[in-house]
Structure 1
Amino acid sequence: FYLDSGEMEVTTVISPDGTGEMFNVLDLSVRFLYGKQLTDRLRIGAAVKYFREDIYTAHMQSLVIDLGSNFDTGIYGFILGMSVSNFGPEVQYEGDALDVTVDDDIAVAGKLSKITNKFPVPLTFRIGLSNDVIGGDEESIHRLTFSADAINPIDYTVYGGIGAEYSWNNMAYIRGGTKLFHDTAGISLGGGLKWSMFEVDYAYVNYGVLKETHQFGISLNF
């Protein structure tokens, strides 16, 4: 997963309208996943996730763990999914953006670095239901899946999401959905292509006052 905010103007206390200098916010996430089918109805999975965020010339990074399960309820084809994301250590911003210029008699190097507080990566609980209203097995050429989720991050209120995915021959995908009771995220549209071990995904997400984002993902399955 990769996110680029695009260029934004640097502002300071002295220059609240901008300094003329530009910066980007960059987010990168890479996951290594393992899943196992325990019974004909229950699957479990775990992922080790590396992520990094760069803001101007400051950054933070960490490794966290995600855990999840997938259970075939046997009731009208509904699948129940649950997950807990972001088990890991606290993180802290560091980098040149935290340097402050001072007189040489205060610091030989002519600068001091601010030390930011550590903070936890937001643990997130998720539960959802999905159902294949068209298709439903691996041999189906056409499959249409509807899903609904409830998400509870520890640093935000509970919100939801609904969406649908159309799959052709398990190779090409079209997706759409929207967040519910979220203060910024709204409609999302996207798609993906899968060939052999490789999968490429794209999503357009409208974040309201934060404007639109374009999200890309690359997966390798083995």
Structure 2
Amino acid sequence: MNIKTLNGPSYEIENNYQLKGYKIIAGTDEAGRGPIAGPVVAAAVILDKKNIPDGINDSKKLSEKNRKKLFYEIKKYADVGVGVGDVEKIDNINILQSSLWAMKQAVMHLKEKPDLVLVDGNKDINPQYNSVPIIKGDGVSLSIAASSIIAKVIRDELMVKFSYIFKEYMFEVNKGYPTPKHLLILKKIGPSSIHRLTFKPVIISKANLKN
């Protein structure tokens, strides 16, 4: 059981709110705000305080191998919900609103309704839930960190699947992020149907192809 990790997230925030009467506490986070292609994926996690896997941390600070290992351990012991905001939604309502929408969906897909939701970032997900935004929450809350791992692994796997359909873009490598090689490919052949058409690099690539 990992209630507190050295220089990493702990269960302290959750404990404090439980002492205030919030019995069931979920954390939620997203993966995929920065890419120029692919969906944004959010996860919500209610940890079992007696079975918290060791090593949970902000997904960005973990190796791919450790993320996958923790992914299965979290799924085994925790209540997990997932929400996905596709490219059409991102282009229609913007990436921030799509991220918040996906987090709300993730919370809705939990088996238990949480008394409180700890949200990574500085925005509430929805008035219908008691939620507390925590900036850089994946670095301080184990529940949020766990949700960051779930969201990251699922999104990465989705992008690998997309790479079989859109082979030219090397999504299995860049996961939709605007790496130099990805931008070069985009410049040469233009966007795919899963590129975010409202994102600047994609807009520029389309304009260049017309000229």
Question: Which category describes the TM-score, using the shorter chain as reference length?
Answer: under 0.3
Normalised TM-score (structure 2): 0.25
Which protein shows a greater Rg?
Answer: 1
Normalised TM-score (structure 1): 0.24
In terms of fraction of residues, the more helix-rich structure is 2
Which has the bigger relative contact order, CA under 8 A and spacing at least 6?
2
In terms of fraction of residues, the more strand-rich structure is 1
